Structure 1
Amino acid sequence: MTATKKYLLAWMCLQLPLLAHAESPKPANVAPQLSDAERYARRCQSQAPHRAIKPQGTMLWGTRRHWDTEKGADERSSVLVSANLNPLKQSNSQVKALKLEGGRLVAASTTALAPVPPTERGIIGSVLQGAASDGSPVEVAICGAEPSAEDPGVIWYRIEAWNAVAQEWENPCVALDRVPDPRAFAVSGVWDASGNHHDPPDKITFACENGAITKCIRWGYNPWASRDGHSMADLHQACTRMARADYCGNGRSHTHEDTALDIYDQRGVLSRTTESSADWDVARASFEAAWAPDGATCLARTRDGRALATILQECPNRFRTDTSLELGKGDRCTMRRTDVDPATSLLRNQSYGPPKDVSSQSDSL
């Protein structure tokens, strides 16, 4: 064998391991799997003190749509839509289950659900079994608790959910500039992709600070409370439709982030604004829609400037346009439900009309 052939043979032998490595790359963006003990040990490691006033916008739960921020997802998708109170995946030795009393989670210590002494510390670190909107399981940890400044009987919870792709505990709530580390309320029942509320036993929603479920509670519509002998649950549900401009009651919003609203209801929780301020210009505002728990009962216009015809296409046979209706105090519907009397609506709202240049683009939104 010549020297040249020996050199070539040696060079090829050196290249074989490199070629074999190149032919079997590791999956991208997939972290190594952790054991249960390692996973639970890493929960609740970060704290952030930032708190601010919530903006108004499109989100129902206020949660991320997908763990992959670069992956597009429908607005009716969420990484966390529900959590089970019993059994717990992980907790301290005394806490065996949780109960929801109003807006507060209470620890229980036995199968008979005898309460642990009322302290928020007892449930910190508890891990609940939750679910995403597609039904996939997701664990959620309670990392902190603090009373609401507006109502000390309601507790803000700082939560983290297990991101199985990144193998990290992360806050599932969407962060915005004014609320960079959002908290969550614990609310009875679950909301499905269409925005309908259901109340299965032992299931709750961790409603994040930037979502409509929590906004409506902060506006005064506590679903666990009552006013003048009437449950506030229907008012709260109607508010979640109104906050997102979900006219068809199908979970689709027709608004934008930071949209200003004036809300008023039949039970006197919120009244119509009659004087201008730095936050609201009465002269610019006009009636938009009246609301029931399953969506709008009538409309004068859309909030984001779409033509009313697009709403008729989105939910055919739901509305009629052959007659207008006066609701009083200047509120006039130009499109009304076929199956509901708009005069019985629980809520109404005003908003600012869309900019003139929006109407020409509205059908494509």
Structure 2
Amino acid sequence: MTVALTVCGCDDVEGGVEDVTGGADTQLRALHDNGVELNGTRFNGTRFNGTWFNGVKLIGAGFADGQTKSNLSGWSLVPGTSELQAYGNNGVVYRGDDLEGVRLQWLVDDGAKELLGVQLRIVAVTQSADRPDIYFTDMDVRINEGKWQSLCTDGAGEPTAAIVVPGYFDLANADWRPGEHGELALACRGTAAGKCLEWGYRMWAKQGGLSLADHYRACTRMVRADYCGNNVPHTENGTPIDVSDGLSPAILEPETDWAIEAKWGPQGAVCLNQPRKLAHSRSAVVAECQAAGRGALPTCNNDKPGEHGGLLVSQAVPG
């Protein structure tokens, strides 16, 4: 069985790819690592995901160091989690930290039909203390016979872990897609793709019987202030936002009296008051969304997430 993995490093800015770094992402990770939230707020950022491969698919069969774990195949996720699993040639299932030290040989399809030799190695796998269905997988990567490097880095450029998720990331639109052929993607911690998972919006999970896939997509738009769903962020790293949802029971509830900034769906904002950064006026954002084919963007009239079909609410102090 083959598997496709995608990793994206996408801050697409006017046709280019920008790798935005800064200490704020590191601060966010520290807050999450210690299980502490700052007055219920979450720091936003402009990075959609990590820094490697820009979303190309990795296609190939796996192998590992050591004789007992050779010829691993059937790579997938343990249902309802982000824990990797694979089958040994002896029929044994290896999962989670059983896979530490494993090397994977892949052929990279870069979209232009050119194949490059890529190796991944799993350095460590740890389970989240806050959300037991989330597993952090530290991976290194090298191209051909080059130097091993961390697959993911945080906002300060320091190595960090990935969260393996089903589906793939559509870089052109900075969006997650469920996939149809068993694809797996890697969401780097400290980016929008990773933050939203750790905040609780795991696309494989349900809350109150409702799939969280669209909440995840709405969250990645919200973190980057991608109001128009056109992969254009309107914020700066480290800007605090208060995030809430209308789920039953709620995953996140409002904990400030900050003004409502916007309400969010999978394609971006469904209503907007004052953008969180004063450098962006409401009228300019509305015009941008109209130019992007989103139509009119009304104001938000109450504090209920469901207004205009919204799934999430962001509150902010414009600055």
Could you say what the CA RMSD is over the residues aligned between the two structures, in angstroms? 3.0
SS in 1 for 2:159: coil
SS in 2 for 1:249: coil
Please give the alpha-carbon distance, in whole angstroms, between the structure 2 residues aligned to 1:133 and 1:60.
19
**Counterpart code for 1:353:** P
Contact 2:152-2:188 at 8 Å conserved across structures: yes
What is the deviation of 1:109? Answer: 2.7
**Counterpart code for 1:201:** H
Please give the alpha-carbon distance, in whole angstroms, between the structure 2 residues aligned to 1:133 and 1:234.
28
Please give the alpha-carbon distance, in whole angstroms, between the structure 2 residues aligned to 1:132 and 1:303.
39
Q: Deviations over 1:151-185 (max 9, x none)?
A: 33321111122256x921211323334x8321110
- Higher strand fraction (1 or 2): 2
Using a 3 Å threshold, how does the CA distance of structure 1 residues 87 and 163 change in structure 2: closer, same or farther?
A: closer
- Whether 1:263 and 2:243 are equivalent positions in the alignment is yes
Q: Deviations over 1:8-47 (max 9, x none)?
A: xxxxxxxxxxxxxxxxxxxxxxxxxxxxxxxxxxxxxxxx
- Whether 1:157 and 2:165 are equivalent positions in the alignment is no
Contact 1:106-1:115 at 8 Å conserved across structures: no
What is the deviation of 1:144? Answer: 1.5
What is the deviation of 1:311? Answer: 2.3
**Counterpart code for 2:150:** N
TM-score (norm 2): 0.73
Using a 3 Å threshold, how does the CA distance of structure 1 residues 114 and 299 change in structure 2: closer, same or farther?
A: farther
- Whether 1:190 and 2:163 are equivalent positions in the alignment is no
| Matches for 1:257-336 after TM superposition, within 5 Å | 257-267=237-247, 268-274=250-256, 282=257, 285-305=258-278, 306-315=280-289, 316=291, 317-320=293-296, 324-328=299-303
**Counterpart code for 1:53:** L
Please give the alpha-carbon distance, in whole angstroms, between the structure 2 residues aligned to 1:187 and 1:237.
13
Please give the alpha-carbon distance, in whole angstroms, between the structure 2 residues aligned to 1:238 and 1:297.
10
Using a 3 Å threshold, how does the CA distance of structure 1 residues 82 and 109 change in structure 2: closer, same or farther?
A: farther
- Whether 1:87 and 2:61 are equivalent positions in the alignment is yes
- Whether 1:116 and 2:93 are equivalent positions in the alignment is yes
User: Which structure 1 residue ranges, 5 or more long, are not aligned?
Assistant: 1-50, 65-77, 275-281, 332-340, 355-365
**Counterpart code for 2:212:** M
**Counterpart code for 1:320:** A
Q: Paired residue for 2:10?
A: none
User: Which structure 2 residue ranges, 5 or more long, are not aligned?
Assistant: 1-28, 33-42
TM-score (norm 1): 0.64
Contact 1:127-1:140 at 8 Å conserved across structures: yes
What is the deviation of 1:226? Answer: 0.7
Contact 2:215-2:311 at 8 Å conserved across structures: yes
Q: Paired residue for 1:174?
A: 153
Identity %: 26
Please give the alpha-carbon distance, in whole angstroms, between the structure 1 residues aligned to 2:100 and 2:72.
7
What is the deviation of 1:141? Answer: 2.7
Aligned with residue 309 of structure 2, among 344, 352, 361: 344
SS in 1 for 2:98: helix
Structure showing greater radius of gyration is 1
Please give the alpha-carbon distance, in whole angstroms, between the structure 2 residues aligned to 1:219 and 1:231.
15
What is the deviation of 1:128? Answer: 5.2
- Whether 1:104 and 2:83 are equivalent positions in the alignment is yes
What is the deviation of 1:191? Answer: 1.2
Report 1 or 2 for greater relative contact order, CA contacts < 8 Å, sequence distance ≥ 6. Answer: 2
**Counterpart code for 1:272:** P
Please give the alpha-carbon distance, in whole angstroms, between the structure 2 residues aligned to 1:132 and 1:188.
18
Please give the alpha-carbon distance, in whole angstroms, between the structure 1 residues aligned to 2:95 and 2:84.
10
Please give the alpha-carbon distance, in whole angstroms, between the structure 1 residues aligned to 2:108 and 2:285.
31
Please give the alpha-carbon distance, in whole angstroms, between the structure 2 residues aligned to 1:251 and 1:139.
30
Using a 3 Å threshold, how does the CA distance of structure 1 residues 116 and 327 change in structure 2: closer, same or farther?
A: same
Q: Paired residue for 2:46?
A: 58
| Matches for 1:25-44 after TM superposition, within 5 Å | none
Contact 2:262-2:300 at 8 Å conserved across structures: no
